[in-house]
Structure 1
Amino acid sequence: MTHNRPKPDDRSDNVEKLQDMVQNTIENIEAAEETMAFSSEEERQNIQAKNQRREESIEALRSEIRDEAQARENGYRE
């Protein structure tokens, strides 16, 4: 019987992954804003609300980037 062991926690590229997520979210905001010109009032309100949530997500991701960068500098010690 084999035991499934979880893979070791590899955080070495977390900062880069989080930065990619921020960039993708910014691109999504920009694309959504471009579509607002062709949207109804209700759709524009929905897009604005979604972009607000995206902005909040970006702030959270940036905070996590700072935490991960600090952990990387500290050698990921607990």
Structure 2
Amino acid sequence: MAKPDNREDNEVHLQEHIDHTEANLQEAEDYLDEHADEISEGEKQSIQAKNERREKSIQAFIEEKKDESQQ
């Protein structure tokens, strides 16, 4: 039997995802600031690309949270 669709706490979960992703993004930026001269160019580019994906994810979470708040 399928579970009923319970969306009561979706906004809370989305905010948790936003907070977690922002924390990871900041941690990666801090790492780059502290160790940029110690890591390879490839690793720098990899971290920067991951942060770009994180920023897109954050925007998507924000949009989804807006949608949830309107329901």
Q: Give the drift of 1:42.
A: 1.5
What CA RMSD, in Å, does the superposition of the two structures yield over aligned residues? 0.9
Cα deviations across residues 19-73 of structure 1 (Å, max 9, x unaligned)?
00000000000111122132322111111110001000111110000000001xx
The structure that has the greater radius of gyration is: 1
Which residue, out of 15, 22, 27, partners 1:31?
A: 27
Please give the TM-score of this superposition, normalised by the length of structure 1: 0.81
Runs (4+) off by over 6 Å: none
Q: Between the two proteins, what is the percent identity of the paired residues? A: 46
Please give the TM-score of this superposition, normalised by the length of structure 2: 0.88
Which ranges in structure 2 are unaligned for 5 or more consecutive residues?
A: none
Letter of the structure 1 residue corresponding to residue 51 of structure 2: N
Aligned residues: 67
Q: Return 56-65 or 30-39, whichever deviates more.
A: 30-39
